[in-house]
């Protein structure tokens, strides 16, 4: 899929991995709808994207009506052909606390709700429009890139909700690609390791240094630009479909 002239939605696009991806897609000629919470910096980011090709859609990925409005905004700008799902949360909690109290069920459902249900909500609503696009020479009508995590495979202590949500994204990648194969819509997932996102920027320096030292090579945090470059490659490489790709410097997370 050629980003040039296409319309893309990037969820969680106001910061971190999403912001880097939105910028790279706009630089490649796509009109980018930045979907993020109303309180985010989405409006500012959209206004600063290359070529003036940014739009801001304030929305919660779990809200059907709000996401539909974002999809409609994208379709008003042209052919919606690209969706990159970066929205997500990951507050840690153990299944049983030090005082023997169980994890509140609301904590688990909130993480899974945003990360898994929210991702699927955006996929289903965007795909419903993609399947009506005029196909390219390869018969392609759209491409969807999801964001999982290496926690889907190497979940640490306190990551049960997060790992479950990201494991769900991994697990639905291939069936989604199969669901949409006849319509010419590809689906892939990126599973990042530890990246220099706003969440990690707030960690103490000694924690950051210890985490970076655990990455085999290069021994540092991933850069959002590196995620964005992989997302752009998936968009551009028509033969990539139904795949989950780790980008983690060969890191395999220990229990803690």
The CA distance from 142 to 245, in Å, is 19
Based on the residue annotation, tell me whether 227 is a catalytic residue of this protein: no
Q: How many CB atoms lie within 10 A of CB 184?
A: 19
Rounded CA-CA distance 25/32 in Å is 7
Strands in 54-58's sheet, in edge-to-edge order, are: 54-58, 31-36, 7-11, 80-85, 142-147, 185-192, 244-247
CA atoms within 13 A of residue 18's CA, in its CB half-sphere: 29
Catalytic one of 162, 195, 221, 227: 162
Query: Any residues with CB less than 8 A from the CB of 87 and at least 6 apart, and which?
Result: 11, 12, 18, 35, 36, 61, 114, 115, 118, 119, 122
DSSP codes joined into one string, 138-182 = TS--EEEEEE--THHHHPPTT-HHHHHHHHHHHHHHHHHHHHTGG
Task: Please identify every residue annotated as catalytic.
Answer: 162
């Amino acid at each position: 899929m050629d980003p040039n002239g296409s319309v893309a939605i990037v969820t969680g696009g106001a910061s971190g991995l999403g912001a880097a991806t939105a910028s790279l897609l706009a630089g490649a000629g796509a009109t980018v709808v930045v979907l993020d919470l109303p309180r985010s910096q989405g409006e500012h980011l959209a206004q600063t994207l290359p070529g003036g090709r940014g739009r801001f859609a304030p929305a919660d990925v779990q809200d059907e009506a709000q996401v539909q409005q974002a999809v409609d905004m994208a379709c008003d700008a042209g052919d919606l052909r690209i969706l990159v799902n970066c929205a997500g949360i990951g507050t840690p909690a153990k299944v049983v606390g030090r005082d023997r109290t169980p994890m509140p069920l609301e904590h688990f459902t909130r993480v899974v709700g945003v990360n898994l249900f929210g991702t699927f909500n955006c996929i289903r609503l965007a795909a419903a429009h993609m399947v009506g696009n005029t196909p390219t020479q390869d018969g392609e009508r759209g491409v969807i890139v999801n964001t999982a995590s290496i926690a889907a495979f190497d979940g640490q202590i306190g990551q049960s909700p997060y790992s479950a949500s990201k494991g769900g994204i991994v697990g639905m990648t291939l069936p989604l690609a199969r669901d949409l194969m006849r319509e010419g819509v590809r689906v892939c997932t990126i599973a990042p390791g530890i990246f220099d996102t706003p969440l990690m920027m707030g960690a103490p320096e000694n924690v950051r240094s210890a985490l970076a030292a655990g990455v085999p090579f290069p021994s540092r945090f991933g850069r959002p630009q590196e995620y964005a470059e992989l997302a752009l490659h998936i968009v551009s490489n028509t033969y990539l479909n139904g795949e989950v790709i780790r980008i983690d410097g060969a890191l395999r997370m220990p229990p803690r």
